[in-house]
A and B are shown apart, each in its own frame.
Chain A
Amino acid sequence: MNRALAAALAALALLLAGCAPSPDDGVLIEDAWVREAPPGARALAGYLQLRNRSDAPLALLFANSDAFDRIELHQTLHDDGRMRMVEVDHVPLPPGETVVFAPGGLHLMLFAPRAPLQDGDAVMIELTFSDGTARDLRFEVRDVRDRR
C-alpha cells in the first residue's frame, strides 16, 4: 500500500517536473503569420504577438528559418510623412506586456524565400530569446488581400 502510494507520488513528481520548465511559462506566442507576397517577391514580412508572462524582462534576439535566406527584426517608422524601415538589434519584452508585430510596425523581415509560399502554407521559424531559450514556431502564410 505504502509502496504503491510512493510509486504514484514519484510518477506524479516526474510528470510535474517534466512540465515545469516548459518555455511556455515565459513567452506566450500567438497569431504568427506571414503575409503572402506577389510571385517573385524577394522580401516577405512575418507578424506575431509575444506576451512575456514571467516577472523578468526578456527580449527577442534572433529569428532563423530554413525557409528563408535570412531574417531580420525590423521596425517601420513614420516621421513627417516619410516611411523608414530600420533593423532593430533586439525587441524588448517587458514583464506582463504583449508586444505586437503587425503591419505598419514591427515585423520579421524574411529575405529570399527558398520556395514560393502561398496562402495556407506554413513555415517554421526559430525564435531565440535573451534567457537562452529558443522556440520553433509555425507561421501560417496568409493572403490578406481585400477581395470585393
Chain B
Amino acid sequence: MLKLEKRQADSRLMSYVSPLIAIVLTLLAGALLFSVLGHDPLHALYTFFISPLTNAYGWTELGIKVAPLLLCAMGLTLCYRAKIWNIGAEGQFIMGALGGSMAALQFLDAESRWVLVPILISGSISGLLWGALAAWLKTRFNANEILTTIMLNYIALNALLYAVHGPLRDPAGFNFPESAMFADAALLPLFSDDYRLNISILFALFFTVVIWTVMARSWVGYQIQVLGEDAKAARYAGFNTNRLTWFALLVCGALAGLAGVAEVTGPIGQLIPHVSPGYGYAAIIVVFLGRMQPFGILLASMLLALTFMGGEMVQIEMSLPKSLTGLFQGMLLFFLLAADLLISYRIVFQPRTARA
C-alpha cells in the first residue's frame, strides 16, 4: 500500500528534482497526445523540442524569446518571494509595449540612436504605472492582487486593441490594426544583420544579475524574503509591509514594461494587436520551474522559449495547431505542482498489516 508521509524537513534535493520530473512527465504526456492525434510521437517531440535548435538561427530566435521571459520572470521573482501573487506581468508587458510605441511614433523621422532612451524609459514607466495600480489597490484597499492583476491584464489588452484600431493606427496602413513601422534608429541594435537577435537579451541578463544581487545581499531583498516567509516576523521586526509591496510591484512592472517595449522596438518593429504570445503568463511558469533561483530561471526561460518555437514548428511542419504551446506550458505547470508535493512529503510503501 502506498502512503504519503510528511518529511521531517523539506527535501532540498527534491526541490531540484521536481522540475525534472515535471519535464519528463510533460514529455510523456505530450508523446501520448501526439500518438492519439495519429502522429509518430518521437518525431513530433523531435519537431517540437529539438528541430527548432538545429541551427544557429534557431538559437538566436531562442534568445529573442528568452529576453522578455527572463525580464518578466525576474520581476515576478521579487513579488513571489514576498508572496505577492502578481499575475499581471502580461498586462504590464502590454502597457510597456503600448507606452513605448507611443513614444516611438513621435520619432518616426529620427536619425539618432539616442531616441531609444526616451522610448525604453517611457515603456518601462508605462509598465511601472500599471504595476503601481495593483500596488495601490492592494495597499490602500487590501484588494487581492491575484484578482486585480488578472483584471488589469484584460484592461491592458483592451487598451492596446483600442490604440491599434484607433489613435495609433497607421494612417497609411490600409486600415490594418497596426501602427506605422518605427524608424530604424528607434529599433534596438542587432548583433548581426543575419539574425534578428538584439541587445534586449543583454538587458535581461543584466537585470537577472541585479535582481539576484538585491535578493541575496540587500536589506530590501532580505525584508522581502522575511515578508514572504513569515508576515508576523516581518511585523515583529518592524518592516513596512506596504512599502515593500510597492517596491516589488513597481520593479516588476518596470521590468515587464521594458520587456514589452523591447519587443516592439525589437523583432516586431511596430505596434500590433498580438505583441505578446503570452510571455507574461509563461514567465509565471518560468519562476516556479526555475525554483526562484537565478540559474534555474535562466534554464526555465530557455525551455519555455522553446515551447513557443516548438508550437510554430509543429504548425509549419505537421499542420498541428500552434496552441500546443499553451498545452505544453500548462502541462508543465500542472506536473510541476504535483511533483512539488514530494518536497514536503515522501511516498512510503507499507506492506498491508493484519488489523483487527
A associates with B: no
